[in-house]
Structure 1
Amino acid sequence: MIKPLLRLVGAALAFCCTPALAQPFPSTYQPLPSEPTLISNATILTGDGQRLNDASLLMRDGKIVWVGSGETPAGTTVIDAEGRWVTPGIIDVHSHLGVYPSPGVSAHDDGNEMTSPVTADNWAEHSVWPQDPGFSRALAGGITAMQVLPGSANLFGGRGVTLKNVYATSYQGMKFPDAPHGLKMACGENPKRVYGSRNQAPSTRMGNVARYRAEWAAAQSYMRDWEIYDIKVSEGDKKAKPPKRDLKLETLADVLKGEVIVHMHCYRADEMLTVLDMAEEFGYQVGTFHHGVETYKIADELAEAGVCGALWADWWGFKMEAYDGIQENIAIVDRPENGCAIVHSDSEEGIQRLNQEAAKAMIRGQRAGMDIPEERAIRWITENAAKSLGIADQTGTLSPGKMADVVLWSDNPFSVYSKADKVFIDGALLYDRADPALQPVSDFELGQLQEAQ
């Protein structure tokens, strides 16, 4: 088990590494107006392992009021969902929408700052283009929230951002309220290929690890410098000078304080174990390994360490470190005790059918003899994804009091024929397959359509 965050950095964690400042670039997200809505007579997968047949769900004031059965207030819109299924909104923990938007031209290539192996001071949200048509395509696939990450060229790629999948003029209008940042890290072939090809370091896996450790050590020193400064100030030393602010080390210090979640692109089991040892050395917690083609080899170790695996259903073999993949990977990582398996996309197309990707992983597990019903598999794209992003207290399950992020499916969502009929975000109907007026497109697309006419 990874030791507590205070293990090595000690009392320094009690101190803030920068002067008291308001959180920069705050979320300005406001839920859209909604009306009380009852979905009745549906098969409901609650996202926390329950399946309710012929059940109902009430949404009001942007929240889930009750699931199963209960009182319906006067004036409630009623949707008869007989023969249809309801799930929480789908959450993709690994997306590049907005930072690699459509159309895919070089002018939109904003996801990888390939100028240094350490770009922890970069924030993906500053590249997000809210008019990316990919957001509406994802909404039609039932995606209500996602984490947008920088690319994987660098050891420390920068901060990711969690977004609500709503239309807004600025990315701040999409930022999921109170969601912690993620730190995108990458191991293996990508960093050593990018910088080795330039005759720069790192050019090997050992070079990767050496640079990680150097940066974590620097972050610890940075925190100690601030601790010393804060002590001097508390003792009345008016001549005390604060350390120079370092935005890269500030991000790493926030990881050490447990305020930023590590999301690590890593394929091989041996490298993931090395990263877990490094996390123990420096006293931080790895949140999620992404891609993790070989996570099935260390499923018990991940469960013991409390680390999620955000994985593909069946992508493998496109480079050497992705070669040893099996289609039962996700099902094996979903250990009965403390397992945290997630299906992610890493694709502007895959995000549109994440339910089908989960279905593929579920079927492969079943064929291998594992007991994986729909109510368990749905957690891979709802509850577990919310846990990975630090937002499970707000969304991810159809629990009373949580955000009314809800998808009404035409059929079993694990069927290739099923489509999202209606998608609610905070109780507001944002997408309706039967209503062209609720199949919105971005301003960018509207301009293109006008030009075509």
Structure 2
Amino acid sequence: MRKGALLTMAALALVLSGTGAGLAKDKDEGKKDESAAVKAARDFNRNPYPSTYKPYPGRPTLITGATVFDGLGGRIERGVVLIRDGKIAAVAGSLTDMDVPADALRIDGTGKFVTPGVIDVHSHLGVYPSPGVDANSDGNEATAPTTPEVWAEHSVWPQDPGFSRAMANGGVTSLEILPGSANLMGGRSVVLKNVYSRTVQGMKFPGAPYGMKMACGENPKRVYGAKGRMPSTRMGNFAVNRATWIKAREYRAKRDAGKLESRDLAMETLAGVLDGEILVQNHCYRADEMAQVLDMAKEFGYHVSAFHHAVEAYKIGDLLKAADTCSAIWADWWGFKMEAYDAIPENAGILWKAGACVVIHSDDENGIQRLNQEAAKAQGDARRIGINIPDADVIGWFTHNAAKTIGVDKMTGSLAPGMMGDVVLWNGNPLSVYTRPEKVWVDGALLYDSQNRKLRPVSDFELGQPGEGDVK
């Protein structure tokens, strides 16, 4: 072979080599593009309706001389609480070594009590607002036994007068809004800061995880059995649930493998539960059903954050403690349907003695205004059977434990440095029927003051409404 031919062959090899590298490069870039597309498809639903909440303006505030319950079981007599830059700056027994800004508002709390802001983990404010008319009934998408694709926030009416009532009468600073319990899987819940806003996004608690409402027992089988549809029995409830979780696991596996062909809003929510990003809030009354749900959670790999209503939780306190599942309960509601028949007023006390997590919730636009009193009733019922629960622990039932249930205990629910400045100053012991909130702060902003008519939030819906005697 001639020298020129050898050169030509070498050049051709170089060209072919370059072409191969180019093809490989294009292929690699295609893989990168595909991976980016898969990642985008996987992450698109993380936060499509982001919180636009911004704290109201506040000022440094020092409360002195009050009895302080920190929400974590601590009690300080004649304590000192400093709120600065929207956060709890210090909690102590004296002012010693405390850096108090010169412009701080100083409040004498002698004879009064300070707690973290009250949290309700089970509310339907905004989705079943006042006035309670059919046009405002937006809490139950009772069209299919499983509707995890619906989101409570898309029904919340920010002008519900119940929000301001909850703050003024109950010291509520945060709350979880849930869909109703007609369905086995009712949809996503949303955690809100209890502040006035034109939009629900302006109320959304920044950084709070979503919840997913589930229901067992009478409600789903009554709603769909009456229509001649499945489920019509408790075994039907579990069958539908399990079949839906199987689909969710398959969807999640495809998502993780990058093989999803289209979006599925319902499966997105359930995959979020399986990922541990969305917390299960399960409406359930009977002990046997709660135990079965815990088994189903093990089968499919999710965690039940709390059983709501849970009137028979006292029977399985050990199981609930082992599962790290809270019981969000009433003090003494019972007997309004068969599955509520075996409720006892000592439920909370027995759970507390078993070392299980107790939360007092409302499920009611009036009850949310009295969570402190409901907790006191449960404490009294426990005392009557020989279970003596310290006041400081009971305060945790509607502050820290509630925050844990909805996944915000690292941000609020207790009075510790760095926590959100969500604080209530009560005019007496909050476990007394005679006590009311005197002042309420949200992120360090004084939003309610019983002594100042200008600091009593009023819904837009109520503004301009004629008062009694104004219209003849």
Instruction: Pick the TM interval, shorter chain.
Output: over 0.9
CA RMSD of aligned residues (A): 1.4
Cα deviation, residue 163, structure 1: 0.3
My pick for the range that moved more, 443-452 or 347-356, is: 443-452
Residue 299 of structure 1 corresponds to: 317
State the match for 2:23 in structure 1: none
Tell me which of 109, 113, 116 is aligned to 2:141.
113
Q: Is 2:250 the partner of 1:250?
A: no
Does 2:43 match 1:20? yes
Q: Which structure's relative contact order is higher, taking Cα pairs within 8 Å and 6+ residues apart?
A: 1
Query: Which of 319, 329, 343 is matched with 1:325 structurally?
Result: 343
User: Out of 226, 229, 247, which is 2:255 matched to?
Assistant: 226
Say which of 378, 382, 392 aligns to 1:361: 378
Q: Given the alignment, which residue of 138, 142, 156 partners 2:166? A: 138
Give the corresponding residue for 1:46: 70
Of 215, 218, 234, 1:189 maps to 218
Paired with 1:229 and 1:416, the residues of 2 have a C-alpha distance of: 57
1:30 equivalenced with 2:48 (yes/no): no
Corresponding position of 1:417: 434
What is the aligned counterpart of 1:73 among 94, 101, 122?
101
Amino acid at match of 2:264: D
Does structure 2 retain, via aligned residues, the 8 Å contact 1:17–1:250? no
Q: What are the within-5 Å matches in structure 2 for residues 71-220 of structure 1?
A: 71-140=99-168, 141-220=170-249
Matched, 1:316 2:334: yes
Deviation string 1:379-432 (CA, Å, 9 cap, x unpaired) is 000000000000000000000000010000000000000010000000100001
Q: CA deviation at 1:437?
A: 0.8
Q: Whose radius of gyration is greater, 1 or 2?
A: 2
Pair 1:374 & 2:398 matched: no
> Counterpart of 1:172 in 2: which secondary structure?
coil
Matched with 1:234 is none
CA contact (8 A) 1:289 1:310 kept: yes
Q: Partners in 1 of 2:182 and 2:435 — Cα distance? A: 36
Q: Which residue among 395, 414, 417 is the counterpart of 1:397?
A: 414
Identify unmatched segments of 5+ residues in structure 1. 1-14, 231-241
SS of the aligned residue for 1:448 comes to coil
Deviation track 1:31-65 (CA, whole Å, cap 9, x = no partner) reads 11110000110000010000000111000110000
Determine the C-alpha separation between the residues in 2 that align with 1:320 and 1:441.
39
User: Aligned residue pairs: how many?
Assistant: 427
Aligned counterparts of 1:336 and 1:29: Cα–Cα separation in 2: 39
SS at match of 2:43: coil
The code of the aligned residue for 1:411 comes to G
Structure 1 length-normalised TM: 0.92
C-alpha distance in 2 between matches for 1:118 and 1:145: 27
Shift of 1:276: 0.5
Unaligned runs of 5+ in 2: 1-37
Match of 2:7 in 1: none
Does the CA contact (< 8 Å) of 1:225 and 1:243 recur in 2? no
Residues 91 and 386 in structure 1, CA contact (< 8 A), matched pair in contact too: yes
